[in-house]
Amino acid sequence: YQRRVHGGSKAPKIFYVNWFLKSEDGKFLWPGFGENSRVLKWIIQRIEGTGKFRYTPIGILPTVDGIDLTNVDVSKETLKRILTVNPQQWLNELPQIRAYQTFIGESVPKEIHWELTQLESRLHFAIEDAPGTSSRLKQWVKEVASLCKPDHIYWCDGSEEEYHLMCDLLVESGTFVRLHPKKRPNSYLARSDVSDVARVESCTYICSKTPEEAGPTNNWCDPNEMKAKMNALYDGCMKGRTMYVIPFCMGPIGSPLSKYGVEISDSPYVVANMHIMTRVGFNVLSAMKDDFLPCLHSVGAPLLPGQKDVPWPCNKTKYICHFPDEPCVMSYGSGYGGNALLGKKCYALRIASTMGRREGWMAEHCLILGLTSPEGKTYYVAAAFPSACGKTNLAMLVPTIPGWSVRCVGDDIAWMHIGQDGRLYAINPEAGFFGVAPGTSDFTNHSAMETLKKDSIFTNVGLTPDGDVWWEGMTKTKPAELIDWTGQKWTPDCGRLSAHPNARYTCPAKNCPVIDPNWENPQGVPISAIIFGGRRSTTVPLVTEALSWQHGVFMGSMCSSEQTAAAEGKVGALRIDPFAMLPFCGYNMGDYFQHWLDMGSKLGPRAPKIFYVNWFTKDSNGKFIWPGFGDNSRVLKWICKRIESDNLGKPTPIGILPSANALDTTGLDISQDIMNALLSINPSQWLDELPQIRAYHAQFGNRLPEALHHELTALEQRLHFALENVPTTSNRLKQWVKSTVELCKPDHVFWCDGSEEEYQLLCDLLVESGTFVRLHPKKRPNSFLARTDPSDVARDEKSTYVCSEKPEDAGPTNQWSSPAEMKAKLTSLFNGSMKGRTMYVVPFCLGPVGSPYSRYGVQITDSAYVVANLHLLNRVGFRVLSKITDDFVPCLHSVGVPLEVGQKDVSWPCNKTHRYICHFPEEPSIYSFGSGYGGNAILPKKCFALRIASSMSRRQGWMAEHCLILSLTSPEGKTFYVASAFPGGCGKTNLAMLVPTIPGWSVRCVGDDIAWLHIGQDGKLYAINPEAGFFGVAQGTSDFNNHSAMETLKKDTIFTNTALTPDGDVWWEGMTKTKPAELTDWTGQKWTADSGKPAAHPNARYTCPARNCPVIDSNWENPEGVPISAIIFGNRRYTTYPLVVESTNWEHGVFLGSLCSAERSDKPATADPFTMLPFCGYNMGQYVQHWLEIGQKLGSAAPRVFSVNWFQKDGQGKFVWPGYGDNARVLKWIVSRVQGQSAAVVESPLGLIPKADAIDTLGLDLEKARLESILKVDKELLKKEIPSVRQLYTSIGSTLPSKLNEFLNELESKLK
């Protein structure tokens, strides 16, 4: 047994003879004595590799013509008899052998026990009685033997002895040359036929049911036609040869992620390579059952009796055929590489890719490596490269940066699945490496060279005179002479390559000195990043991070590489090779792209980040400018930092590139100019390439996912932006952006496209910068928590200005500043304010895009937080940009914190010294400086949608109001739309998403904060919600008071200044009845229920998309708006104002609007006319006049106007009215009034008030007396209110319409 272990190839061969076989009559069949020399002659021939032989279960026997019978009286029939093995007789003898070994005891080596077991298995196979063997497999082997007609059948047991046997046979046949046993132990050189040196893609077919399923990138043939053709070729193809049956496993045996197959081949070269590349043999059979992939291979070179074989048999006719619907693989004519080793590309990629799609996993042309940081954290990375682009070099990388190490899981193929924890895991389905030899050296891949020192098969490399191998690039100095891959003498000046460009090595992965300890983990390894790569001399930068999973899939779909020698075709030509899977995808690549997108959807926020690398950029002299090899670890280090969300990236049109000095170049002799060249993009070069990508995508027709169309269009637009070829006709916009760049001096300019990928990118950047905390992906998917600076937590009204031409145009309720003076001050502040930052250009639309009532703007900001919120609150991006002409509102914002080179940013940048929120209504434009919070920074909200829009609407004849819009549908199915204005924090959102407590009624939300109202063509008042999301106060929001809001907030939400629970969710006061035991408060400090401070800021906010609201109205984006039947003004008053009052007419309703006020705790009531006091962008007196004028235009079509107050308290300070869902009872009465029903009302000094019986109180636990108490006007209290109202009117000045004073005088008179 130790012959191979210690003796190696120099150990003598071992034989067993028996001269004493007898016939039935007891006579010896062999003459013996001197005739035994004939057996010895065969033994000598076997030692020399010339004796004729055949395989049997017990060993190698001579063929009948292998024994010299010259001049001996022994017939061939007798010789055949004594060279026959009777398996049953041997099986009958095995118990005695086993008993003898047992008798000897534990001293019998375990290897001898193993040999006995293997012998038993082979004998069972010989009589087709293998225990546990699949009946399907037995039947298939029988059918193949009948078709191919081999001389012998050999079931491979997978043993080390079998491998050596195969190698010996291949040496004897001339296929192998045994290499020097000391220089390269147990290693061999094979030389293929010159016509059989690479994959034959032109002869590779996907035989799916329809050509559409195979797709345009694969050769297709009808499966029935191809089967008939292949069966004709296979008929008798193995005559004169041995048929090897090779059970194999792809992946660790027993892993739930592994797959099984059986290859039948007539090539011992294939058997030897399969021994190295897969797990083979009887242990596979026992695990396999009936679930295996049949793989049939033949070199297609049958031998006639007595015909001498060639060292490399093959056939000029070649087919490699895949039948994904069965599935099975058939290969004919080639003995080389992936054409013949059918477990490799044929099964592990082409067939497995179709299996993965059906079963929800991925089979990819990827290496897998583990990268460990100096701190001991390991990141597993999958990387897809076209062949000969450095996969193996990267998989076995030796880092040049101290403290980092790389371990190899696999160098070529990854099977990836979603684990139980929702992350992506990968296994290497192979057990060996089948790598490209040329270029491999101790410099480029020391680990590979160490792996190749023993137990390796080399194919088509050169042979040195001292019995070792050599290839181009292996050493700096070329050998003086050798034998080249074709068997000819070679010298350095002969003009030929010594090794074929696609020369290969096959070696076991277990020999790799940097093999990862988890490389055979049955569950796989968790993937933190996916890298795509190509071999590009220009255009593609050193490393790029995808903006999102979808963008990463797009990057993978446009992978391109210069043609290599690993496949047929012109070397150097550029071809698009999506995901490096072009030759290996077993189905329509359009469907393959969709499968990647689907996997991303399943992974959600746990999806790995995706990157694209290019080590191969050249300078103008054709020299590589990146050192590559071990220095690629510097790129991997940056990728790991990005996985950990370190803010080391800069957005570009193609993705995120390393920011300045982000790549660790310590100790690297490389200039800054070269680094700039490696980490920059040429938009023109990219634009030149897009038509090729578009044409490539077009071939997939309607199977190409729409998401990839979108990504390509978005990329094209971003590239045009980078060249200042902005796809807009607005010269004003272009000029404004240009002048703003000159003023603010940002490091980068980023035009926002409005895509989902962009939003995810911004959120990732904010997580990396510490502004965002990513919430638990299951508890709160795609949601984030932001914590502001404690000085930047609310609207900054003291810093808010209306800069109209004259102070009287702004009015006394606004702060005014001279436009010229304020512009000068702001210009000084904005000068250089964005240094070190990215300037985002965000085109936005207030209202549905394309609606005649919508308005457009562009916000420029240096805050990614602002951009992320704009994504949720507005329609933004390129679809908006295409609608923008010169008629847009410029909105300029900066946090006012420039960064010096190398200066680290803070998580919430803001300027504590200078803050301004300035509105220029005549231009119109908006400028905001210093604050990053809410309406101070998200300028389309209150700044545009109310302050500027109110002044615009006055000029244009419509109204911009601080109103929710809801629809109320009766049991009869009639819908009424209501606009309602409440002071902040008075329950607008609760009312907008109300769940009625009265049966049959339903409420739907159109908007919760702002309404733009206009007169429609039918003369009625219509409203649109200019926003696309909700920016609400979190405090107090709960499932009890606003279930719909809580449902809306379950995903896709940004929370600001709430608390963070230990399990990664948010919390605020009032959210639950029971407070959490502990959490992290809005300032980032530990909080407990008894800490005596709020966990969330009182103005903590949420931002979420309106489309997620479960009660969003079906007409919420109707471009014409919704018809308003009633307008409601709200008050928060503990006394004085009744539950509900109806105005007597529109003008009286305007008067009620002017009385809006709110009180909180013990503070006196604050007047807030129309709830617009902080938001009216011009003189409040003129604003009131505008309301009166709108009423005149509406005439009898004007909505009815009401005033409500849910907040009256009794003498004990308790609210009388239950509020929340019971407010629907008041809305029901309002609807009855709108319909003109004569519900019982009483006149009061304020207006019409319902009698208690008119309010539906069915099921409401409220005494009639208490209801009556809040349905009346307290004249004495109201009388006391008159002076403060008169004072308000006086403060507004002479612009206030006299009509309001008339109503006030009338009220005062009634109260007297």
Rounded distance between C-alpha atoms, residue 151 and residue 242, angstroms: 6
pLDDT band, very low/low/confident/very high, at 378 (cuts 50, 70, 90): very high
Predicted local confidence at residue 909, as pLDDT: 98
Cα torsion at 65, 71, 75, 79 (round to 10°)? -50
pLDDT in tens, 315-356: 999 999 999 999 999 999 999 999 999 999 999 999 999 999
Are 880 and 845 a contacting pair, CB within 8 Å?
A: yes
- 341, amino acid identity: L
What count of other Cβ atoms lies within 10 Å of the Cβ of residue 681? 18
Cα separation, 30 vs 35, whole angstroms: 8
Task: Report the candidate in 933, 845, 840 with the shortest Cα–Cα distance to residue 883.
Answer: 845
List, in order, residues 6 or more apart from 950 with CB less than 8 Å away.
959, 960, 1172, 1175, 1176, 1177, 1178, 1183
Mean pLDDT of 508-530: 97
Average confidence (pLDDT) over 703-710: 93
What is the chain's Cα-based Rg?
Answer: 41
At 768 the pLDDT is: 85
Please give the pLDDT value at position 221.
97
Q: How confident is the model at residue 573 (pLDDT cuts 50, 70, 90)?
A: low
DSSP helix/strand/coil, 516: coil
Residue 173 CA to residue 748 CA, distance in Å, equals 67
Exposed, middle or buried: residue 997 (CB in 10 Å: 0-12, 13-18, 19+)? middle
- Residue 832 buriedness (CB in 10 A; 0-12 / 13-18 / 19+): middle
Rounded to whole angstroms, the Cα distance separating 730 from 1175 reads 29
Instruction: Give the distance, in angstroms, between the CA of residue 422 and the centroid of all CA atoms in the same chain.
Output: 13
- State the chain's mean pLDDT as an integer: 93
Which residues, including other chains, have CB under 8 Å from residue 233's CB and lie 6 or more apart? Answer: 298, 300, 317, 319, 332, 333
For Cα atoms 596, 597, 599, give the angle at the middle one, nearest 5 degrees. 65
Structure token digits, residue 3: 């012959």
DSSP secondary structure string for all residues of 1124-1139: EEEEEEEEB-SSSS-S
Averaged pLDDT for residues 172-178: 95
Dist. CA 679–CA 664, nearest whole Å: 13
* Maximum alpha-carbon separation in the chain: 149
Residue 528, number of CB atoms within 10 A of its CB: 22
Q: Which residue has the tokens 């209202």?
A: 847
Give the neighbor-by-neighbor strand order of the sheet with 489-490.
Answer: 469-470, 462-463, 482-483, 489-490
Both structure tokens of 799: 């810093």
Average pLDDT over residues 687-706: 94
| Residues 299/303/307/311 CA torsion (nearest 10 deg) | 10
Judge whether residue 71 has pLDDT over 80.
Answer: yes
Average pLDDT over residues 268-272: 98
Distance CA 519, CA 716 (A): 41
The gap from C-alpha 1054 to its chain's centroid, in whole angstroms, comes to: 20
Alpha carbons 618 and 459: distance in angstroms, whole number:
31
Which residue from 999, 997, 1070, 1082 is spatially nearest to 1039, judged by alpha carbons?
Answer: 1070
Strand pairing report for 838-846 and 855-861: antiparallel
pLDDT given at position 1071: 97
Report the catalytic residues.
389
Q: Which amino acid, 106?
A: E
DSSP string, 196-228: -SSB-GGGEEE--SSHHHH-TTSEE--HHHHHH
Q: pLDDT (tens digit, 9 = 90+) per residue, 791-829?
A: 999 999 999 999 999 999 999 999 999 999 999 999 999
How big, in percent rounded to 5, are the helix, strand and coil portions of the chain? 35, 20, 45
- State mean pLDDT over 1285-1289: 96
Collect all residues with Cβ–Cβ distance below 8 Å to 1099 and sequence separation of at least 6.
Answer: 793, 794, 1033, 1035, 1057
d(CA 20, CA 39) in angstroms, rounded, equals 13
pLDDT at 6: 41
pLDDT band with cut points at 50, 70 and 90 for residue 1297: very high
pLDDT value of residue 2: 43
Which contiguous run of DSSP H or E holds residue 740? Answer: helix 731-744
Helix (H) or strand (E) holding 102: helix 87-104
d(CA 507, CA 454): 8
Instruction: For 476, list phi and psi in degrees, rounded to 5.
Output: -65, -35
pLDDT at 834: 97
- Segment 871-882 mean pLDDT: 93
pLDDT (0 to 100) of residue 579? 96
- Whole-angstrom Cα distance, residue 114 to residue 94? 13
**Hey, which residues does 1128 pair with through a beta bridge?**
980, 1202
Q: What is the helix (H) or strand (E) element at residue 100, kind and residue range?
A: helix 87-104
H or E stretch at 178: strand 176-178
In 3D, which of 528, 551, 665, 571 has the Cα closest to residue 612?
Answer: 551
- Dump pLDDT digits (tens) for 14-46: 999 999 999 989 999 999 999 999 999 999 998
Q: Are 634 and 400 in contact (CB under 8 A)?
A: yes
Instruction: Compute φ and ψ for 198, nearest 5 degrees.
Output: -160, 175
Locate 545 and state its tokens: 């991070």
Cα separations (Å) of 392 from 368, 369, 400, 725?
Answer: 10, 10, 17, 42
Q: Could you tell me where the DSSP H helices lie in 912-1042?
A: 934-937, 949-956, 988-992
Rounded to the nearest 10 degrees, the angle between the axes of helix 352-359 and helix 589-603 is: 40
- 965 bridge partner residues: 979, 1007
Listed ranges 49-63, 311-325, 974-988; the one with the highest mean pLDDT: 311-325
Buried b (16+ CB within 10 A) or exposed e, 139-164: ebbeebbebbbbbebbbbbbbebbbb
Which helix or strand (DSSP H or E) is residue 714 part of? Answer: helix 706-722
User: How large is the average pLDDT for residues 1207-1226?
Assistant: 94
Q: In the predicted model, what is the mean pLDDT of residues 480-508?
A: 97
pLDDT recorded at residue 7:
43
Q: Which pLDDT belongs to residue 567?
A: 47
In 3D space, the residue among 128, 121, 189, 113 whose CA is nearest the CA of residue 158 turns out to be 121
DSSP state of 647: S
Query: Alpha-carbon distance 1082 to 1096, whole Å?
Result: 5
Contacts of 580 (CB under 8 A, 6+ apart): 365, 366, 384, 385, 386, 387, 389, 532, 533, 534, 559, 561
Angle of helix 549-557 versus helix 589-603 axis, rounded to 10? 160
The residue written with tokens 């193949």 in the block is 144
**pLDDT over threshold 70, residue 5:** no
Least confident residue range of 187-191, 272-276, 764-768: 764-768
At residue 695, the pLDDT reads 93
Q: Say whether pLDDT at 369 is over 90.
A: yes
pLDDT of residue 4 exceeding 50, the answer is: no
- What CA–CA distance (Å, rounded) separates 1170 from 1187? 10
Torsion of CA 491, 492, 493, 497, to 10 degrees: 90
The sign one gets for the Cα dihedral 1178, 1182, 1186, 1187 is positive
pLDDT of residue 728: 74
How many Cβ atoms are within 10 Å of 904's Cβ, its own excluded? Answer: 7
**DSSP-based three-state secondary structure for 652:** strand
Per-residue pLDDT tens digits for 1021-1050: 999 999 999 999 999 999 999 999 999 999
